[in-house]
Amino acid sequence: MRNNVARDYYAILGVDRSASDQELKRAYRKLARELHPDVNPDEEAQTQFKEVTAAYEVLSDPQRRQIVDAGGDPLESRGGGGGFDGFGGLSDVFEAFFGQGFNAGGARSRGPKGRVQPGADALVRVTLDLEECAMGARKELAVDTAVLCDSCTGSGSASGAKPVRCSTCGGAGEVQSVQRSFLGQMVTARPCPTCDGAGEVVQDPCGKCAGAGRVRVRRTLTVDIPAGVGEGMRVRLAGQGEVGPGGGAAGDLYVEVRERAHPVFFRNGDDLHCTVRVPVVDAALGVTIPVTTILGEETLVEVIAGTQPGTVVELRGQGMPQVRGGARGALHVHLDVVVPTKLDHKQVEKLSEFRSMRDEEPEVVSAASSHTGGLFSRLREAFRGR
């Protein structure tokens, strides 16, 4: 026998009769998190979950809430069917657990994406010598991208006719299916297979692009690489990327630089480093050494008398140019003092005479007797972080 006493939906949700829509939603979300079968498998909790879902469905509907406030029960006309058929509260179950964006029944509403879409960016790589990075270069590059169909000029139609609404999805761009579960009816949505989610179709597709409005071709582009570029830097060519579906605006093309190792110079940012071997006599007496820079210019390196192994001479403005601005880095010349390994009789005689004139003896370096700039001193300063 059916109970004729109307259910107190406000009490089920634990709110006052004057509760606002936001208060109803907050109360329902709180209870849904506590009672949802995935969280609370208890059989009594499942029953309560159905009750609070039905209560929220009723009270969130202004017409049904009027019936409740008048002392009636709007679910009695459905035989007390638990309150899930209308999906009124089910969307908030998904909101409670998965966040916003689900419509009634749990299906995410996407809407048609449109047939014309912007194109993606494209990326090609080019390998440059260090000289090309320093002076800039003009390169011819073969690029494979989608371009505008020259037969239909992007419309996708052989006759130029405008696309029409898709008959399968009615222009919605998606089709829905309904499944029943312990929560009630679940609505899922997927892109329309006929229009691929565009919501419209081309009735007479172009024979060249099959209605896509774009075709993929290989083309040659001339790219001006600015001076100063380096490994991993990218040059942007606006509008030279992929043409979008339906003839949409093309993305950008990025040319990424790969820098080939140089046999003489080592690069560190805008600075260059190279090593010059100096005979021990020249290091002792001093010498001027000509060095060709990365730009092909000749510059002079002054090796002062008494130069020690490991000395670095800095030539400012002889390094790499900056990409933005006219300044250039420095060229660091590392002096490698070379001691001869093979001497003839006369050379040995002269060096022996020189040694006797210097009256110097080998010395084990200690912290107390080390000279500034010696190996021990440099190691000590390195460990001290100086």
Q: With H, G, I as helix, E, B as strand and everything else as coil, classify residue 176.
A: strand
Contacts of 208 (CB under 8 A, 6+ apart): 149, 150, 151, 152, 215
Describe the strand order of the beta sheet including 331-338 as a list of residue ranges.
266-268, 271-279, 331-338, 312-315
Q: What distance in Å separates the CA atoms of residue 114 and residue 218, rounded to the nearest whole number?
A: 27
166 is in an annotated binding site: yes
Q: Is 149 within any annotated ligand binding site?
A: yes
* Residues 50, 349: Cα–Cα separation, whole Å: 108
Q: Is 133 annotated as a binding residue?
A: no
Q: How far apart are CA 386 and CA 378, in angstroms?
A: 9
Strand partners, 235: 255
Mapping DSSP to helix (H, G, I), strand (E, B) and coil, where does residue 375 land?
Answer: helix
Cα–Cα distance measured from residue 208 to residue 200, given in angstroms and rounded to the nearest whole number: 20
User: Which residues, listed in sequence order, are joined to residue 225 by a DSSP beta bridge?
Assistant: 137
Distance of CA 187 to the CA centre of its chain: 34
C-alpha–C-alpha distance, residues 374 and 386, integer Å: 15
**What distances in angstroms separate CA 301 from CA 121, 283, 306, 334, 385, one per listed residue?**
47, 12, 15, 11, 30
Between strands 271-279 and 164-165, the pairing is unpaired
Annotated binding residue at 274? no
Closest listed residue to residue 85, CA positions, set 196, 185, 174, 209: 185
Residues that constitute the known binding site: 149, 152, 166, 169, 192, 195, 206, 209
Residues that constitute the known binding site for Zn(2+): 149, 152, 166, 169, 192, 195, 206, 209
